[in-house]
């Protein structure tokens, strides 16, 4: 309000009045100015209240989500207690609810996704920030970002009609029989098609852009001097990256991977369409499974009773808490790096 305060003091000051020859004109002018200033004061107050309220919407939304879902899931959590997380009996007909198969499926499918996409995504990020010629960087980065723009349901559609037939007729028999990996429990059993493997593969495609874009940003934030110092010591390009750039960017890249993990844990549609939706724990990746998100997506609209509904809400709450923690950790790590690099370059 400093800009408005200056003229107001002059116009409103009683010292000004005697100096002026006529009393009427400045009084009218002062009144008009006063109205304008008052308008500005009111406008400012309305504006700052409004944006503060808008900003408050975010924490309020967060608290509302947590509360509403917790309250809705409370009956099931109270009835089953801790065994809700450890029991593998998901039997709506008999009113027994244990989320263990869904939690297991969520963790395994996300693990497959990260195991495949992490090296690829970091490779892409290194390629884009260090090796690629200037003209290639934007287009390739755009294509990789586009992977994130494809809707989940489209990945699911593609998975059902293209990926699963290939897995069932070619990849699964190849892994099990030709490579004789069938002796391992992970690659044994009949090849259904809809399976943990299919879900993990589609998830790896879906989380890759998130990991690679965070990694790329973090790599680009590494100060030039870090690279120049290594190069000046006679290091090759790869030695520079491995020895000077990656260690510097490490925690940011880990943050990106954890961010990808958060996406994989909560991904719903593509997984629901590909994982086979069976509440069982099986070591074989060829067997169908369930994830927390797909369990909710599948059973919510035809829940058979209040307890079933409450159990699904409780699963939602568990998913909420897990992704909340994962995302908070990831953000913290990424911020750590960006703040560190900002501090060092300044």
Structure tokens at 176: 């099990």
Nearest to another protein of 206, 287 (CB atom): 206
Q: Please report how close the Cβ of residue 186 comes to another protein at its closest, in angstroms.
A: 22
Nearest to another protein of 16, 239 (CB atom): 239
Q: Please report how close the Cβ of residue 155 comes to another protein at its closest, in angstroms.
A: 7
Q: Shortest CA distance to 137 belongs to which of 145, 146, 128?
A: 128
Phi first, then psi, for residue 96 (nearest 5°) are -110, 125
Q: Please report how close the Cβ of residue 54 comes to another protein at its closest, in angstroms.
A: 3
Q: Shortest CA distance to 271 belongs to which of 297, 300, 302?
A: 297
Q: Buried b vs exposed e over 155-190: b needs ≥16 C-beta within 10 Å?
A: bbebbbeebbeebbeebbeebbeeeeebeeebbbbe
Q: What is the DSSP letter of 21?
A: S
Structure tokens at 177: 């029989």
Nearest to another protein of 240, 282 (CB atom): 240
Nearest to another protein of 20, 64 (CB atom): 64
CA distance 163 to 271: 13
Integer CA distances (angstroms), 291 to 61, 172, 311, in order: 25, 21, 14
CA distance 304 to 238: 59
Q: Please report how close the Cβ of residue 344 comes to another protein at its closest, in angstroms.
A: 19
Structure tokens at 175: 């892994």
Nearest to another protein of 89, 162 (CB atom): 162
Q: Please report how close the Cβ of residue 148 comes to another protein at its closest, in angstroms.
A: 8
Nearest to another protein of 176, 227 (CB atom): 227
Nearest to another protein of 124, 175 (CB atom): 124
Q: Shortest CA distance to 183 belongs to which of 289, 290, 283?
A: 283
Q: In sequence order, which residues have a C-beta less than 8 Å from that of residue 277 and are 6 or more positions away?
A: 194, 288, 290, 294, 295, 298
């Amino acid at each position: 309000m400093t800009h408005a305060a200056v003229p107001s003091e002059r116009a409103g000051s009683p010292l000004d009045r005697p100096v002026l020859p006529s009393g009427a004109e400045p009084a009218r002018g002062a009144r008009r100015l006063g109205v304008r200033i008052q308008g500005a004061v009111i406008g400012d107050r309305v504006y700052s209240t409004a944006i503060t309220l808008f900003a408050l919407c975010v924490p309020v939304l967060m608290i509302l989500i947590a509360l509403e879902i917790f309250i809705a899931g409370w009956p099931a959590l109270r009835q089953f207690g801790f065994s809700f997380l450890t029991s593998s009996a998901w039997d709506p007909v008999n009113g027994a609810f244990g989320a263990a198969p869904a939690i297991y499926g969520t963790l395994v499918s996300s693990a497959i996704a990260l195991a495949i996409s992490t090296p690829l995504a970091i490779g892409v990020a290194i390629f884009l920030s260090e090796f690629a010629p200037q003209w290639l960087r934007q287009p390739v980065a755009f294509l990789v970002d586009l992977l994130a723009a494809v809707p989940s349901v489209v990945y699911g559609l593609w998975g059902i009609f293209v990926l699963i037939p290939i897995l069932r007729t070619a990849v699964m028999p190849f892994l099990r029989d030709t490579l004789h990996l069938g002796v391992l429990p992970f690659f044994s059993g009949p090849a259904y098609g809809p399976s943990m493997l299919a879900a993990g593969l589609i998830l790896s495609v879906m989380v890759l852009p998130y990991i690679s874009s965070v990694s790329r940003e973090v790599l680009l934030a590494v100060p030039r001097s870090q690279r120049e110092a290594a190069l000046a010591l006679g290091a090759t390009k790869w030695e520079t990256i491995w020895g000077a750039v990656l260690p510097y960017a490490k925690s940011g890249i880990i943050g990106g991977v954890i961010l990808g993990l958060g996406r994989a844990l909560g991904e719903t549609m593509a997984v629901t369409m590909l994982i086979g939706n069976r509440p069982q724990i099986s070591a074989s990746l060829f067997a169908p499974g369930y994830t927390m998100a797909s369990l909710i997506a599948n059973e919510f609209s035809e829940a058979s009773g209040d307890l079933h509904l409450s159990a699904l809400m409780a699963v939602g709450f568990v998913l909420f808490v897990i992704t909340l923690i994962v995302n908070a950790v990831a953000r913290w790590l990424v911020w750590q790096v960006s703040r560190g690099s900002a501090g060092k370059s300044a």
